[in-house]
Amino acid sequence: MKHSEPQTLIVSDSQADRRLDKYIRSQVKGVPATVLFRMMRTKQITVNGAKCKPDQRTIAGDKVHLPALEVAEAKPKPAGERKAAEQLARRLSRHIVFEDDDLLIVNKPANIAVHVGSGVKAGVIEALRVLRPEDKELELAHRLDKETSGLLIVAKNSKMLRHLQGLLREGGEDIQRYYLAVVGGAVKKSGKQPRRIDAPLRKTGAATVVDRRAGQAAETKLWVKKPWGRAGTLVEAQLLTGRKHQIRVHLQHLGHPIIGDSRYGDKAANQTAAEKGVRMLMLHASRLVIPLPGGEELDVRAPMPPAWNKLRG
């Protein structure tokens, strides 16, 4: 066990309205919660010179005085994980499409996981932490399936993370999320208005199924764009809810599974696409419209992967 240096932290606007103990632990890594609780109780840690409690909320401009604190030494990552994160960081550096002081949006290539997991040494968030070591609080605001390409939001501080997750939790269309997909077969247009797919979904193991009796509400808007090659159609989908594999299962439910979908797709269509050089799920998060805390909107777009054009010939 080592000790940090005594210091006074000044709470920034982006760190306001957090639990005090969580704020301190985000600024001084490795401090056990029990140490913080004890030092607050004995007034060794103070806020603006006054006694404080772990669950009180931070206010911008607060002065948090910290004595030397016991901190656990961080365990170094295995060399393989560190190398994988560094390699992915170099690749992702070319795919950042928007960045400011509060958030970062990356155009994730297909077949890259968003975080580490079984058999995955490094994901997007680990790579971005290598790429942006000065941003201590990088966190995913949402997820994309490993197979899906496109726009992924990463919050750079807890205030923005809470804002984004609040919008996503409320459902509806607070963050407008649009996807492009190429599906098998000729999909008929439903006039000028988009088709609305209302099919409740239920998770069953690693898969998701339509279940109108026991499923959770799931809604998707669908626009038919144009034919894509001899046996496909380009469509645009907007998520109105955020269930696991929602667009993939809804399109399968319509009888037009996404080309390249190994779980819900058509094997023959997938094989034809692979023979033409398209070996990926043809689902791409193409547009995000995000309401920001100040009242303005951020509208970010990412073009579909160039490889999709191989199916048009």
Residue range 184-207, pLDDT digits in tens: 999 988 777 899 999 999 999 889
The last residue of a domain, from among 135, 164, 193: 164
Angle in degrees, 0-180, between the axes of helices 33-41 and 20-27, rounded to the nearest 10: 120
User: What is the model's pLDDT at position 4?
Assistant: 86
Instruction: Compute the CA torsion angle 29, 31, 37, 41 (nearest 10 deg).
Output: -90
Phi, psi dihedrals of residue 298, rounded to the nearest 5°: -110, 120
Residues of the chain with pLDDT > 90, as a percent, come to 74
Give the mean model confidence (pLDDT) for residues 148-170: 91
Residues 89 and 204 in one domain: no
45 confidence band (pLDDT: 50, 70, 90): very high
Collect all residues with Cβ–Cβ distance below 8 Å to 74 and sequence separation of at least 6: 29, 30
**Among 159, 177, 195, 156, CA closest to 238:** 177
Residues 186 and 299 in one domain: yes
Q: Please, are residues 150 and 167 in contact by the beta-carbon 8 Å criterion?
A: no
Residues 218 and 307 in one domain: yes
User: What is the model's pLDDT at position 172?
Assistant: 47
187 residue type, one letter: V
CATH number for the domain spanning 94: value is 3.30.2350.10
Distance CA 280, CA 123 (A): 18
User: Whose structure tokens read 């579909």?
Assistant: 304
Of the two residues 16 and 66, the one the predictor is more confident about is 66
Containing domain of residue 65, as a range? Answer: 2-71
**Region for residue 205 given its phi and psi (left: phi exceeds 0; alpha: psi -120 to 50; beta: otherwise):** left
The last residue of a domain, from among 164, 193, 228: 164
Q: How many CB atoms lie within 10 A of CB 308?
A: 24
Residue 145 is a catalytic residue: yes
End-to-end CA distance of the chain: 63
**Catalytic residue (choose from 13, 17, 21, 145):** 145
pLDDT, tens digit, 9 for 90 and up, residues 80-139: 788 888 999 999 999 999 999 999 999 999 999 999 877 788 899 999 999 999 998 899
282 confidence band (pLDDT: 50, 70, 90): very high
Structure letter (DSSP) for residue 167: H
Q: Please, are residues 172 and 156 in contact by the beta-carbon 8 Å criterion?
A: no
pLDDT, tens digit, 9 for 90 and up, residues 223-243: 999 999 988 999 999 999 989
User: Whose structure tokens read 């002081």?
Assistant: 101
CATH number for the domain spanning 26: value is 3.10.290.10
- Does 110 reside within a domain? yes
pTM: predicted TM-score of the whole model, two decimal places:
0.81
Paired with 7 in beta bridges are 66
- Does 20 reside within a domain? yes
**Among 283, 208, 205, CA closest to 246:** 208
65 residue type, one letter: H
User: What is the model's pLDDT at position 136?
Assistant: 86
Residues 149 and 216 in one domain: no
Residues 130 and 219 in one domain: no
Angle in degrees, 0-180, between the axes of helices 20-27 and 158-169, rounded to the nearest 10: 120
Phi, psi dihedrals of residue 296, rounded to the nearest 5°: -80, 170
User: What is the model's pLDDT at position 95?
Assistant: 97
